[in-house]
Amino acid sequence: MTEPTAQLPPPEAAAPGGEPAAGDPDAVAVTEAKASFFDHLNELRVRLVRAAAGIAVGMAAVGWFCDDIFRFVMKPVVASLPEGQRHLNYTSYLEPFLVYLKVALYGGIFVAAPWVLYQIWLFIAPGLYKREKTVVTPFLVIGTALFYSGVAFTYYLVMPYAFPALASIAGPDMNPLLTMKEQLTLVLAMMLGFGVVFEIPVIIAFLAMVGLVTPQFLAKYRRHAIIVNVLLAALITPTGDPFNLALMAIPMILFYELGILAARLVGKKKAPEPAQAA
């Protein structure tokens, strides 16, 4: 008599819809991936809420001084006006309210910028290597300081010369009629533009750290970068005179050179080539 054939255990039934069964490793991986994705979404939501709360607190703190802040920011504009006309106008009763609301919003962002950057850091820190974590903190500190420096540079060194130059373009028989809304928009755009320009070394250093550019590449195309910087300065500056153009172009060129130096310090190092056998 032949011995009975051993029966193999039946395969695990597939879950409805073609999904892997509960004990399948694929099912475990999918579940973990979904959990990780939703954990990241929840963490992002928490950081966004806290960043928004920080901006709201900054707006509340700045809101009490909106009029004083607006008058301070507009000093270079008002000083460029002719004697007897040193005041701004508004075209509707709603305009001053909207202008002060805008001052509170941007002032709140300006004050809460370190807190917002800290929340961004807390969100991305778990996914960074140890070396990257040690570099990011100086990046945030230096980047924030450079942005504030760019805003101060605009206010104290650019606007006092740019606005009189703009006013001199009009004929002597023409009188300016400047509104609160338009001048605030112009001043904020100039401050933002110079703030971004002052971030050039940080941006270049970050690109070098992730391997997108190298110091050798940046140095090789230095002349091209100078031409591009001058063209960008001509587009960003509100006037076309050489002095105000130089106020924008020279910092851009200088920060490009500082960016090359920073790229040499934090950029990815080339792996040593393996020694060839004799």
Q: In this predicted model, what pLDDT tens digit does every residue of 139-180 receive, in sequence order? A: 888 888 998 999 999 999 889 988 888 888 877 778 888 999
Residue 276: inside a domain, yes or no? no
Alpha-carbon Rg for the chain in angstroms:
29
Residue 244: inside a domain, yes or no? yes
Give backbone dihedrals phi and psi of 89, rounded to 5 degrees, phi first.
-120, 165
Residues 103 and 154 in one domain: yes
What is the 8-class DSSP label of residue 8? P
The residue-averaged pLDDT of 35-54 equals 86
Q: What is the pLDDT of residue 96?
A: 94
Give backbone dihedrals phi and psi of 15, rounded to 5 degrees, phi first.
-70, 155
Rounded to the nearest 5 percent, the helix, strand and coil shares of the chain are 70, 0, 25
Residues 55 and 190 in one domain: yes
Residues 97 and 52 in one domain: yes
Kindly report which listed range (9-18, 54-63, 247-256) carries the lowest average pLDDT score: 9-18
The residue-averaged pLDDT of 64-79 equals 94
What is the 8-class DSSP label of residue 155? I
Residues 247 and 160 in one domain: no
Residues 193 and 226 in one domain: no
Q: What is the pLDDT of residue 103?
A: 94
Of residues 258, 250, 252, the one with CA closest to residue 208: 258
* Between 189 and 19, the higher pLDDT residue: 189
Integer Cα distance of 231 and 246 in angstroms: 11
Under the banding of pLDDT at 50, 70 and 90, the label for residue 278 is very low
Under the banding of pLDDT at 50, 70 and 90, the label for residue 31 is low
Integer Cα distance of 91 and 203 in angstroms: 41
Q: What is the pLDDT of residue 270?
A: 61
Tell me the pLDDT of the chain averaged across its residues: 81
Q: What is the pLDDT of residue 271?
A: 54
Strand partners, 179: 89
For 153, the domain range is 34-169+178-198
Integer Cα distance of 61 and 211 in angstroms: 41
* Between 245 and 228, the higher pLDDT residue: 228
Residues 192 and 228 in one domain: no
The residue type at 275: A
Asked if residue 4 has pLDDT above 70, the reply is: no
Residues 82 and 146 in one domain: yes
Q: How many domains does the chain have?
A: 2
Q: What is the pLDDT of residue 229?
A: 85
How many C-alpha atoms does 138 have within 13 Å on its Cβ side? Answer: 11
Integer Cα distance of 41 and 123 in angstroms: 10
> What percent of the chain stands above pLDDT 70?
81
Residues 56 and 183 in one domain: yes
The residue-averaged pLDDT of 71-81 equals 94
270: Cβ contacts below 8 Å, ≥ 6 apart: none
Of residues 68, 74, 101, 76, the one with CA closest to residue 88: 74
Integer Cα distance of 64 and 220 in angstroms: 52
How many C-alpha atoms does 254 have within 13 Å on its Cβ side? Answer: 8
Residues 49 and 132 in one domain: yes
Residue 142 CB-density burial (10 A; 0-12 exposed, 13-18 middle, 19+ buried): middle
Asked if residue 102 has pLDDT above 80, the reply is: yes
Q: What is the pLDDT of residue 262?
A: 86
Residues 144 and 221 in one domain: no
Integer Cα distance of 191 and 200 in angstroms: 15
260: Cβ contacts below 8 Å, ≥ 6 apart: 204, 215, 218, 219, 222
The residue-averaged pLDDT of 83-88 equals 88
Q: What is the pLDDT of residue 60?
A: 92
